[in-house]
Chains A and B, each alone.
Chain A
Amino acid sequence: EDQVTQSPEALRLQEGESSSLNCSYTVSGLRGLFWYRQDPGKGPEFLFTLYSAGEEKEKERLKATLTKKESFLHITAPKPEDSATYLCAVQAFNSNYQLIWGAGTKLIIKP
């Protein structure tokens, strides 16, 4: 069964303290892995798409990487405004559109 697991469930960091969020997946062939950010009371906001193992993408303080089993979202020197829930979703080869979502990691950055 296709599955996405994110860890940790929650992460508290001091401002400037770098860390990584994990997204482990099991799918019957990966079409793409998506990272989204969700603020309280809002819909998910698109961050990155990764398509193949070894691929990396960066945006400001965020860098996403992909292996054959998992993806990491590295956050470097985070600021309080980076506080949000980060969601990971995968699209399998047996679907042209359906995304399988993880439960998210709630990130809190303390000033």
Chain B
Amino acid sequence: GAGVSQSPRYKVAKRGQDVALRCDPISGHVSLFWYQQALGQGPEFLTYFQNEAQLDKSGLPSDRFFAERPEGSVSTLKIQRTQQEDSAVYLCASSLSSGSQETQYFGPGTRLLVL
């Protein structure tokens, strides 16, 4: 079956540009997560959705970061006025339910480079 997909896989942006990163979770998965991963580090939590509700956005680094999941399936992470420090891999993960101890399944990530 299809796993989590993300697009684009690579994005180069000039400083100050806005970018939009897309995540298609596994069909039927209730929970969706966005992470930021710097080179040589583990993923850092950004935000969490349960269906269309954004229940936790405590990891978003600034108000330039915005995420949505309007119909409870596809999600978009938008970064406004990109800065060089935004360069990283952005990972999306989904899990079947909202229960604890659920396994999170990851997409391949979007590698963002801000010049």
Assess whether A101 is in contact with B100, with CB atoms less than 8 Å apart: no
Assess whether A44 is in contact with B33, with CB atoms less than 8 Å apart: no
Q: Report the tally of A-B residue pairs with Cβ distances under 8 A.
A: 64
List the A side residues contacting B107 at CB < 8 Å.
Answer: 43
List the B side residues contacting A98 at CB < 8 Å.
Answer: 45, 48, 56
A77 within 8 A of B: no
Q: Name the contact of B108 in the complex, choosing from A4, A31, A41 (C-beta under 8 A).
A: A41
Assess whether B42 is in contact with A32, with CB atoms less than 8 Å apart: no
A66 within 8 A of B: no
Interface residue count on the B side (C-beta < 8 Å): 27
Bound complex: CA of A87 vs CA of B93, how far in Å?
15
Query: From DSSP, what is the main secondary structure of chain B's interface residues?
Result: loop
Assess whether B104 is in contact with A99, with CB atoms less than 8 Å apart: yes
Assess whether B42 is in contact with A46, with CB atoms less than 8 Å apart: no
Bound complex: CA of A87 vs CA of B107, how far in Å?
15
Bound complex: CA of A104 vs CA of B107, how far in Å?
18
List the A side residues contacting B48 at CB < 8 Å.
Answer: 97-98
List the A side residues contacting B33 at CB < 8 Å.
Answer: 97
Assess whether B106 is in contact with A44, with CB atoms less than 8 Å apart: yes
Assess whether B42 is in contact with A101, with CB atoms less than 8 Å apart: yes
Q: Name the contact of A91 in the complex, choosing from B100, B106, B108 (C-beta under 8 A).
A: B100
A89 within 8 A of B: yes
Most buried by A among B56, B104, B105: B104
B interface list, Cβ under 8 A from A: 4, 31, 33, 40-45, 48, 56, 91, 93, 95, 98-109, 111
A interface list, Cβ under 8 A from B: 4, 31-32, 34, 36, 41-46, 49, 51, 87, 89, 91, 95-99, 101-104
